[in-house]
Amino acid sequence: MRIAVVSLFPEMFGAVTEHGVTGRAVRQALVGISHSNPRDYTVDRHRTVDDRPYGGGPGMLMKIDPLQQAIAAAREQVRGEDGARPHVVYLSPQGRRFDHRRAVALAQKEALILVAGRYEGVDERLIEAEVDEELSIGDYVLTGGELAAMVVIDAVTRQLPGVLGHEASADEDSFANGLLDCPHYTRPEAYQGKVVPEVLLSGDHERIRRWRLKQALGRTRERRPDLLEGRAMTPEEEELLAE
């Protein structure tokens, strides 16, 4: 997958391109991440990237021209041999809420462009002309779209084939099958007077599988009952929830 980020602060993205699982995915070329900075497309001496909003009021907006040209450059960066149109996402608190399902869907795309806003945001006409989808990472306002873009990059990248080794499967994480994950334990066997559940030491794989599923169901019902609404239960899940 090819991802181009449009941002005034490309250096921030080292957090995902240089570290951990996503950093390894970049080094293994499982995902390519490039940058396009609107400041590189300014023409004035001060390299101005913001402008006053029509109608007045506090705050500035990102200037249209440099941003539009940065998006055009990003389109070139992610252009593949297949000629497929990249999917352009503007990170915005007004967008659809980003979630696991959206991460899985975006991981199917060949090319993504993530536009990070700054100041009070961007001109509405630019969104209409260039953006396919607005995504929000939650009901709060950040000072810029970079952290939100990194959240999307991280969640999407770990869905790509080959990114997670067998030591960590995305299929068993929270939300993958519509449930929260079960609790996990590592050594020591006793910690501050609390011991690891006996079943996990039994070596009985079927018992462990059923215990984990029951824990996942119980946790989900307790913490996120909304996830169970409308989710079809298997007969085994019904039985475990009723126990």
Query: Residue 221 catalytic?
Result: no
Q: Judge whether 64 is annotated as a binding position.
A: no
The answer to whether 117 is a known ligand-binding residue is yes
Decide whether 105 or 168 has the Cβ nearer to ligand SAM.
105
The reply to whether 38 belongs to the active site is: no
Q: Is 93 a catalytic residue?
A: yes
Task: Give the separation between CA 65 and CA 236, rounded to whole angstroms.
Answer: 58
118-137 residues near ligand SAM, rule: CB under 6 A: 118, 120-121, 136-137
161 is a catalytic site residue: no
Give min distance, CB of 17 to ligand SAM, in A.
19
Does residue 148 interact with ligand SAM by CB under 6 A? yes
139 annotated binding-site participant: yes
Interaction of residue 38 with ligand SAM, rule CB under 6 A:
no
Q: Which of residues 80-119 bind ligand SAM (CB under 6 A)?
A: 91-94, 116-118
From the list 123, 173, 181, 219, the catalytic residue is 173
**Smaller CB distance to ligand SAM: residue 136 or 174?**
136
Q: Which is nearer to ligand SAM, 146 or 237 (CB)?
A: 146
Query: Does 58 help bind ligand SAM (rule: CB under 6 A)?
Result: no
Q: How far is the CB of 214 from ligand SAM (least distance, A)?
A: 35
203 is in an annotated binding site: no
Is 11 or 120 the residue whose CB approaches ligand SAM more closely? 120
| Segment 219-223 long-range contacts (CB within 8 Å, at least 24 positions apart) | 219/179, 219/180, 219/181, 219/182, 219/183, 220/179, 220/180, 223/180
Residue 156 is labelled as binding a ligand: no
Stretch of 15-23, 139-147, 186-194, 214-222 lying at the interface with ligand SAM (CB under 6 A): 139-147
Q: Can you give the three-state secondary structure of 156-198, one letter per residue?
A: HHCCCCCCCCCCCCHHHCCCCCCCCCCCCCCCCCEECCEECCH
* Catalytic residue chosen out of the listed positions 2, 10, 130, 158: 158
Task: Tell me which residues touch ligand SAM (CB under 6 A).
Answer: 91-94, 116-118, 120-121, 136-138, 140-145, 148
- Binding-site residue positions for S-adenosyl-L-methionine: 117, 137-142
Active site residues: 93, 120, 158, 173
